[in-house]
Amino acid sequence: MSRAESTLARRAFLRRAGALAAAAACPAFVPSEVLGRGGAVAPSERIAVGAIGVGGRGQGVMAGFLASSDARVVAVCDVKRPEREMARDAVDRHYGGKGCAAHGDFRELVERPDIDLVSIASNDHWHVLHALAAVRAGKDVYVEKPLGLSVEELKALRAAVHRHGRSFQFGTQQRSEANFRHACELVLNGRIGRLRAIRVSAPSGAAERTGSATYEPAPVPDGFDYDSWLGPAPWAPYTPKRVVNPHWFHISDYSLGYVAGWGIHHVDIAQWGNGTELTGPVEVEGSGVFPEDDGLCDNALSWDVDLKYSNGVAMSFTSDGGKNPHGIRFEGDDGWVYVRRGFTDAHPKALLGSVIGPDEVRLPASRGHQQDLLDSARTRRPTVCPIDVAVRSDTVCHLSDIAMRLGRKLHWDPEAEAFVGDPDANRMLSRAMRGPWSL
């Protein structure tokens, strides 16, 4: 049993003992919720959650844990004081008390023995370092997409999750939506015949970018630990646009851009329906349109990437406005299935009502993305998007970015997780980190 599991078990035992002692002394006044009756979860059984990165998206992820009776958020962390205080106050209002702590340093949060699970929705360049610290401290983790800034980072986190036996949920919440699962089950069970091609398209976010005139250095605002915000990224002068979400998505020091920041959602579903969630493509080639003379933004504004898999399936991955419609379209010999958020279409139409039988391929269903991790934390069963799946899906986005930056066809060995005979491309699988940070 890990340190976190031992702590949770010990705390649960002591609280259950206290609740039972109180019931014996005055049973008429003990609410059923305290003892976990009537479908409620006793406070002693709730999983204690800490949240790192509690800006807009971070609070959205945290809301999923607040909504669950299986969990209690006990601490938040952010390098921006206004955001962490706002998140703390939101938690206290939800529970009707003053019990939530607010930290400015993530290390204080992950070292707390009373926390069992950590939700991570910090900036992309911090995801893996925050997750590594939490996993090594014995915590289960929810990590918002995308996963990391290099394939080396992804592999380091995968190794740590397995070494420490932690439950992991990737923030690709489309896997917890029934229409995506059903679309993939139709494909995997041969309803469209043999799968031949997958067409994927996602937003580029290009409209969010503004001109370089707004990038002039400025004083760091009070209550903002800018050096910690930069963390492992190269030092750079503070400018308001550098740190504003979603503008920083377009700066390669902090993100791969929307090719991973949004594209990972649909790429992950493509991997799921292709049956390749534990492997990857063998060829990748593509092009992208990048900012010119911007001075700050350097991620792709649009992209057009082609990938080939060893099973013969060809995948086209583009930004919206290109040759593919937004979403994921699976094309087979006998028809097609198209899926996006809130909508599914197919040819022939009868496929939409097709029922997957008990002896056919059935993909895991979850009770909600955050709830699925809480269920895993209790049972230790895999989540709907565990670390091995997350690494493979995220890698597809990295391969796409590398291919368009190099501007040539690349051959990928999914077993070795390396490019074949291409040292220049392989050097792009890792990144240096500003000290003292490292994997």
For the stretch 202-242, pLDDT in tens is: 999 887 765 544 678 999 999 999 999 999 999 999 998 89
Domains defined for the chain, CATH in brackets? 3-174 (3.40.50.720), 177-362+387-427 (3.30.360.10)
Distance (Å, rounded) from C-alpha 257 to C-alpha 111? Answer: 31
pLDDT of residue 4: 44
Tell me whether strands 47-52 and 71-77 are parallel, antiparallel or unpaired: parallel
Out of 10-19, 156-165, 248-257, 277-286, least confident range: 10-19
159 token code pair: 């190794």
Tell me the pLDDT tens digit for each residue of 152-168: 999 999 999 999 999 99
For residue 19, pLDDT over 60 is answered with: no
pLDDT of residue 11: 45
Q: Are 142 and 73 in contact (CB under 8 A)?
A: no
For residue 60, pLDDT over 90 is answered with: yes
Based on its alpha-carbon atoms, the radius of gyration of the chain, rounded to whole angstroms, reads 23
Distance (Å, rounded) from C-alpha 268 to C-alpha 271? Answer: 5
DSSP category for residue 430: -
Distance (Å, rounded) from C-alpha 270 to C-alpha 314? Answer: 11
Tell me whether strands 314-319 and 302-308 are parallel, antiparallel or unpaired: antiparallel
Distance (Å, rounded) from C-alpha 318 to C-alpha 328? Answer: 11
How many Å separate Cα 186 from the centre of its chain? 25
Q: How far is the CA of 129 from the CAs of 123, 125, 149, 160, 169, in angstroms?
A: 11, 8, 11, 11, 16
Q: How many CB atoms lie within 10 A of CB 51?
A: 32
Distance (Å, rounded) from C-alpha 371 to C-alpha 3? Answer: 23
Q: Are 283 and 409 in contact (CB under 8 A)?
A: yes
Tell me the pLDDT tens digit for each residue of 313-323: 999 999 999 99
pLDDT over 90 percentage in the chain: 83
Tell me the pLDDT tens digit for each residue of 72-112: 999 999 999 999 999 999 999 999 999 999 999 999 999 99
For residue 27, pLDDT over 60 is answered with: no
Q: Are 50 and 109 in contact (CB under 8 A)?
A: yes
Instruction: For residue 264, give the nearest of 144, 183, 158, 129 by alpha carbon.
Output: 144
- Residues 6 or more apart whose CB falls under 8 angstroms from that of 294 comprise 209, 212
CA atoms within 13 A on the CB side of 9: 7
Phi-psi domain of 407 (left: phi exceeds 0; alpha: psi -120 through 50; beta: other): left
Per-chain mean pLDDT for the chain: 91
Distance (Å, rounded) from C-alpha 390 to C-alpha 169? Answer: 8
Give the confidence band of 293 by pLDDT, cuts at 50, 70, 90.
confident
Q: Are 62 and 53 in contact (CB under 8 A)?
A: no
Distance (Å, rounded) from C-alpha 363 to C-alpha 183? Answer: 10
pLDDT of residue 245: 77
Out of 163-177, 181-195, 243-257, 405-419, least confident range: 243-257
Distance (Å, rounded) from C-alpha 177 to C-alpha 61? Answer: 16
